[in-house]
Amino acid sequence: MRYVDEFREPQLITRTADEIRRLADPQRHYRFMEVCGGHTHSIYRFGLKDLLPSNIELVHGPGCPVCVLPMGRIDDGLSIAEQPDVIFAAFGDMMRVPGTRGSPLEHKARGMDVRIVYSPSDALKLARHNPTKHVLFFAIGFETTAPSTALTLMRAKAEGIRNFSVFCNHVTIIPAIRAILDSPDMRIDAFIGPGHVSTVIGCRPYGWIANNEGKPIVVAGFEPLDILQSIVMLLRQMNDDEKKVENQYKRVVPWEGNRGALKAMAEVFELRPYFEWRGLGFISQSALRIKEAYSEWDAECRFSVPGVRVTDPKAAQCGEVLKGVLKPVQCKLFGKECTPEHPVGALMVSSEGSCAAYYSYEHRKAAQLTQLTGAAC
């Protein structure tokens, strides 16, 4: 466990943790879902669980774009890139994500032209510099990243760069929350809303969670104090029997979001009727596709895409972990067949995935402790 004085504002952290203990009813159990993988990472990195009373449970949500991407989409993207003179460009997070015939990095080792880019606009630049090649940008991410892809496509069209296309895997956060709430085994009391997604979409789209589902939601920043403060705000709402959307991350998130970013998304993208999420299955209207006006830059229109479907091994219980029914360590494969080095399920794939974060910070800590104390189990 981290000592409180290791934090940047130890007194404030202590006061906030005390307030949480004061507000939490010892007679009840609270289950709060942090939707965003960035929050999950912070919670484990700072050992925030140790500062909370045992009756407050943090459940890790679906907000890790790499984790929820079905393996078949990786296979599809790589199969396009197997065609002659195609450069496969993607963010670094994607490079080690396994497809059925290996990750992009393994394809690179076998001769595919695979490039890491840090921005969609750098993928477009690659196309400008390689006019005899076709650059395929493998786009992933929630609403934080989708506007950048949209603007890049608008630039490609305006400049008439035709040796560039996007294989679009952008997803939207609201339908994923809805799927979790609709699930019959759903057991979440309230939500810690995503910080950076909300810089784009604002706070208004969460209204139905409070109004229709009766669940409080607080959009939060990523510092330990932000997360603890958002828990205070959730507890206050629950104690006062209120259900509303609140914004703890006002310093970055405007209530109305970023209109310019939303405009770019609306210009380029439309909702897919349905899309598969690894661990959650098919969710209707949960992902973006490229509009017809930009079809020339849509890899799914320009190339034939096999439409591969790969089911996760039955033993992997990613869906249950995503919905908060199971903790990562309760999955049968956790830490055995499924580790960050050899991920079997979705949530072990990226450092923002709840299983990978749990493994990196909690599981190793527990293993070290067992070694130190010589305890056997």
Partner 1 sequence: MCLAIPGKIIELLAEDRDLAVVDILGVRRRVDLGLLLDDPPTTGDWVLIHVGFAMSKISEMDALDQLRMLTDIGETQAALEEVQGYGSS
> Least CB distance from residue 239 to partner 1, whole Å?
29
32 or 222: whose CB is closer to partner 1? 222
- Six token digits for residue 164: 């560039």
219 or 238: whose CB is closer to partner 1? 219
Q: Give Cα 299 to chain centroid, integer Å.
A: 23
Q: Give Cα 102 to chain centroid, integer Å.
A: 22
> Least CB distance from residue 222 to partner 1, whole Å?
6
210 or 349: whose CB is closer to partner 1? 349
177 or 333: whose CB is closer to partner 1? 177
> Least CB distance from residue 109 to partner 1, whole Å?
20
> Least CB distance from residue 142 to partner 1, whole Å?
8
> Least CB distance from residue 67 to partner 1, whole Å?
10
49 or 115: whose CB is closer to partner 1? 115
- Six token digits for residue 112: 């595919």
State the amino acid at position 82 in one-letter form: E
131 or 260: whose CB is closer to partner 1? 260
- 3-state SS of the chain is CCCHHHCCCHHHHHHHHHHHHHHCCCCCCEEEEEEEHHHHHHHHHCCHHHHCCCCEEEEEEEECCCCCCCHHHHHHHHHHHCCCCEEEEECHHHCCCCECCECHHHHHHCCCEEEECCCHHHHHHHHHHCCCCEEEEEEEECCCCHHHHHHHHHHHHHHCCCCEEEEEEEECHHHHHHHHHHCCCCCCCEEEECHHHHHHHCCHHHHHHHHCCCCCEEECCCCHHHHHHHHHHHHHHHHCCCCCEEECCCCCCCCCCCHHHHHHHHHHEEECCEEEECCCEEEECCEEEECHHHHHHEHHHHCCCCCCCCCCCCCCCHHHHHCCCCCHHHCCCECCCECCCCCCCHHHCCCCCHHHHHHHHHHHHHHHHHHHHCCCC
> Least CB distance from residue 223 to partner 1, whole Å?
5
Q: Burial, 306: exposed, middle or buried (Cβ in 10 Å; 0-12, 13-18, 19+)? A: exposed
> Least CB distance from residue 38 to partner 1, whole Å?
3
Residues 236 and 216: their CA atoms lie apart, in Å, by: 10
Q: Which residues contact partner 1 by CB under 8 A? A: 8, 36-38, 41-42, 45-46, 63-66, 89, 91-93, 115-123, 125-126, 129, 140-142, 144-145, 147-148, 151, 194-196, 199-200, 222-223, 251-254, 258-261, 264, 350, 352
Residues 266 and 262: their CA atoms lie apart, in Å, by: 6
> Least CB distance from residue 135 to partner 1, whole Å?
9
199 or 237: whose CB is closer to partner 1? 199
State the amino acid at position 57 in one-letter form: E
151 or 280: whose CB is closer to partner 1? 151
196 or 278: whose CB is closer to partner 1? 196
105 or 252: whose CB is closer to partner 1? 252
Q: Residues, the chain, total?
A: 377
> Least CB distance from residue 128 to partner 1, whole Å?
10
> Least CB distance from residue 146 to partner 1, whole Å?
10
Residues 354 and 41: their CA atoms lie apart, in Å, by: 8
